[in-house]
């Protein structure tokens, strides 16, 4: 427990997906510990579901929720966005600035450093959550981002990695981290270990996540078509999520003749989605430490997931639940899991293992330690 109450501001771009879930869990734990907490994030992304989450979170945050337009890519609009964000941060006068993702990481460390010009006490922390680490180091874009990451290390007090894979990727693409760093896994709430049972109208397969190629919805659709052919029977699926690329996936479903067997639904609470199907598929091409995998396993759901990023750290190397991020591998495992669901369930990690390694209390306590160690004397 901290000997003092801190003013903590979390800065990130898009209030959707795993980063938003991580920040919500962290802020709730920090509020419960007596700290004053605030959020700065983009105002142009998210929908009704995210608005409901903000409405539930807002009354708990003494420093409030401040939303302003923050674009994904570097461009002229960054100057105006940066100035707006700096004014908000300066007004909130935080003791801790915690940036999440590439854009939030730059803003929090840069503006935290500016605040140090006139103040002596601002801790600057950075959680990549994959972010710029997904870029290829052999491309021009990758070299630009990794050069920026190296520069920003000089303005960083602590880096928090959500998986060992993420830390090793940082070392390979950027170099040995110069600031102190820690591995802190994403955490699950005790309530998330209540089992979810598929409803009577549950379909065969579920995809839940952002509708963008990095998360692999196109691989899910292609794999379903291949699995149908191998099993010589129709399958049904639900795809839950939103994103700019959604129309392209809907067209892919029509092109493959699956439109009467694939249902697209808007974002919803993960546990509500889990009850819609008997098997969850996470076909991501890249990940850091995805919450959806942890949430589904805690709920007792069988799952197929690609062996990318930190996912093997959840299942263990060699698990039959893991596949390569390509359609034929995913399809083969779909067939195996659907033909013998009882045997496939034995591939899932135990509840005891998940509770011990991925608890929200453990996550919050370790991050608080990093905050206190990072505060200037």
Domain spans in the chain, listed from the N-terminal domain onward = 7-187+359-374, 191-357
Cα separation, 191 vs 271, whole angstroms: 11
CA–CA distance, 239 with 225 (Å, rounded to integer): 14
Please give the CATH superfamily to which domain 7-187+359-374 belongs: Glycogen Phosphorylase B; (3.40.50.2000)
298-318 confidence digits (pLDDT tens) = 999 999 999 999 999 999 888
Given a contact cutoff of 8 angstroms between Cβ atoms, the answer to whether 210 and 16 are in contact is yes
Whether 191-357 and 7-187+359-374 are alike in CATH topology: the answer is yes
Q: pLDDT-derived band of residue 74, with 50, 70 and 90 as boundaries?
A: low
Q: Per-residue pLDDT tens for 262-287? A: 999 999 999 999 999 999 999 999 99
Burial (CB < 10 A; 0-12, 13-18, 19+), residue 83, is exposed
Mean pLDDT of the chain: 94
- What's the rounded mean pLDDT across residues 113-128? 91
CATH architecture classification, 191-357: 3-Layer(aba) Sandwich (3.40)
DSSP reduced 3-state for 192: helix
């Amino acid at each position: 427990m901290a000997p003092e109450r801190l003013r903590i501001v979390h800065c990130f771009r898009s209030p959707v997906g795993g980063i938003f879930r991580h920040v919500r869990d962290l802020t709730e734990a920090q509020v419960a510990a007596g700290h004053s907490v605030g959020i700065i994030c983009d105002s142009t992304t998210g929908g009704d579901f995210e608005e409901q989450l903000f409405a539930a979170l807002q009354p708990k945050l003494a420093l409030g929720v401040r939303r302003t337009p923050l674009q994904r890519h570097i461009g002229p609009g960054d100057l105006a966005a940066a100035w707006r964000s700096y004014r908000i941060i300066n007004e909130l006068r935080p003791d801790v600035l915690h940036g999440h993702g590439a854009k939030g990481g730059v803003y929090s460390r840069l503006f935290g450093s500016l605040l140090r010009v006139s103040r002596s006490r601002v801790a600057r922390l950075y959680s990549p959550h994959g972010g710029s680490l997904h870029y290829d180091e052999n491309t021009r874009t990758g070299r630009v981002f990794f050069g920026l990451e190296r520069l920003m290390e000089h303005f960083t007090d602590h880096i928090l990695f959500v998986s060992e894979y993420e830390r090793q990727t940082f070392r390979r693409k950027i170099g040995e981290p110069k600031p102190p760093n820690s591995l802190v896994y994403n955490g699950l709430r005790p309530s998330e270990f209540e089992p979810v049972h598929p409803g009577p109208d549950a379909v065969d397969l579920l995809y839940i996540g952002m509708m963008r190629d990095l998360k692999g919805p196109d691989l899910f659709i292609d794999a379903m078509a291949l699995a149908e052919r191998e099993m010589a029977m129709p399958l049904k699926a639900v795809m839950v999520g939103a994103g700019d690329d959604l129309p392209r996936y809907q067209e892919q479903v029509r092109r493959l003749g699956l439109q009467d067997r694939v249902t697209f639904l808007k974002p919803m609470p993960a546990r509500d989605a889990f009850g819609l199907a008997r098997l969850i598929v996470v076909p991501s091409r890249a990940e850091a430490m995805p919450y959806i995998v942890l949430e589904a396993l805690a709920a007792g759901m069988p799952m197929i997931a690609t062996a990318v990023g930190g996912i093997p750290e959840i299942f263990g190397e060699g698990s039959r639940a893991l596949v390569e991020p390509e359609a034929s591998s995913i399809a083969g495992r779909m067939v195996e899991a659907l033909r013998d669901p009882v045997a496939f369930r034995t591939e899932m990690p135990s509840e005891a293992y998940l509770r011990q390694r991925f608890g929200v209390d453990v996550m919050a306590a370790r991050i608080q330690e990093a905050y206190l160690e990072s505060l200037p004397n």
